[in-house]
Amino acid sequence: MDQYKVAVVGAMGAVGTEMMKTLEQRDFPISEFVPLDAEINAGKTVKFRGEDVTVKKAGAGAFSGIDIALFAVGAEVSLALAPLAVKEGTVVIDNSSAWRMDPKVPLVIPEVNPGALVNNEGLLASRLIANPNCSTIQMLVVAKPLHDAFGIKRIVVSTYQAVSGTGLPAITELSSQAKAYATGQPFVHSVYPRQILFNALPHIDDFLSDGYTKEEMKMVHETHKILDPKIAVSPTAVRIPVFRGHSESLNIETKKPVTPGKVRAILLKAKGIKLMDDPSGLVYPTALDADGKDDVFVGRIRRDPTVANGINMWIVADNIRKGAALNAVQIAELLVEKD
């Protein structure tokens, strides 16, 4: 098997760390691993396959000879570094929002639209590939086989998203507030506009002029680009005091007749999905069930009696794992399979 020189950009962050862990666990064929990060972290070391590897500064010249780079950085950094990496000959798989809606950049979920990676000649469509939003990923892994079977007309989705989606400072803030509660100290918040402990914030990313947030509209636009532009999507995104794991309530209206039994049968055979659906036995997925797992977990499958063809369900996935790191590594695996 061919071996590849692979970099993780943002190696010191939560998603970058998970990318390294995922590359190790899935035994990705790596000849040399290069951790890259901001200048302040250059010279530090990370563990990869049992060895200490020195972090290098991400910048001009850092991508020379690197075959694949997984980017775990913010949009602003990606806008600056991704074109530079591509120019130096690297294939970039970017986890930020920077390139997702660029018509020249494939937006890929391997279980949903792997064909987007290649052009009509069967060649790599772009050396820059975008990872979708974490909430979109888990929703569409479930929606894809149902759309193929029944034709989805409309999705109403409410998300309940972990603080890790905001990054390490948010994890620290929730932890600090929990410690403050336990010791009778006053709560302090700076990452979120309100206290997150014991709370639910219907506010993820900036508000737009129509009252929706950028996070909500990502789910709309990305669904249209990845799956089908005709699917109507009505989203509400909520931040909750959970460290890791996004939960979603999905209401799906289909064109063809649908039953809970048919949905279960289809999802049982679908890639990347695990059913936990036995309410009588109190079996349903929670964020803790998904923690560190690859699959999207599905439960509470039931008929929506208010429409002719409607299904409700509850889905959960690890937003750092499948919602970011794993999806990026799976894209890389598709790339090396095509070599």
pLDDT band at 162 (very low <50, low <70, confident <90, very high): very high
> What pLDDT is recorded for position 258?
97
Whether 189 is catalytic is: no
User: Around Cβ 328, how many Cβ atoms within 10 Å?
Assistant: 27
**Is the model's pLDDT at 339 over the cut of 70?**
no
Query: What is the CATH architecture assignment of 4-131+324-338?
Result: 3-Layer(aba) Sandwich (3.40)
> What pLDDT is recorded for position 121?
87
CA distance 5 to 55: 15
> What pLDDT is recorded for position 210?
97
Residue 240 CA: distances (Å) to CA of 53, 192, 233: 35, 11, 22
* Size of the chain, expressed as the number of residues it contains: 339
CATH number assigned to the domain covering 135-319: 3.30.360.10
pLDDT band at 224 (very low <50, low <70, confident <90, very high): very high
Residue 35 CA: distances (Å) to CA of 13, 40, 79: 11, 13, 19
Q: What are the boundaries of each domain within the chain?
A: 4-131+324-338, 135-319
Active-site residue, from 134, 203, 221, 224: 134
pLDDT digits (tens, 9 = 90+) for 238-264: 999 999 999 999 999 999 999 999 999
pLDDT digits (tens, 9 = 90+) for 44-87: 999 999 999 999 999 999 999 999 999 999 999 999 999 999 99
299, 106 Cβ separation under 8 angstroms: no
Whether 134 is catalytic is: yes
pLDDT digits (tens, 9 = 90+) for 169-193: 999 999 999 999 999 999 999 999 9
pLDDT band at 1 (very low <50, low <70, confident <90, very high): low
> What pLDDT is recorded for position 208?
98
Please, is 59 exposed, middle or buried when counting C-beta atoms within 10 Å of its C-beta (0-12, 13-18, 19+)?
middle
**Is the model's pLDDT at 337 over the cut of 90?**
no
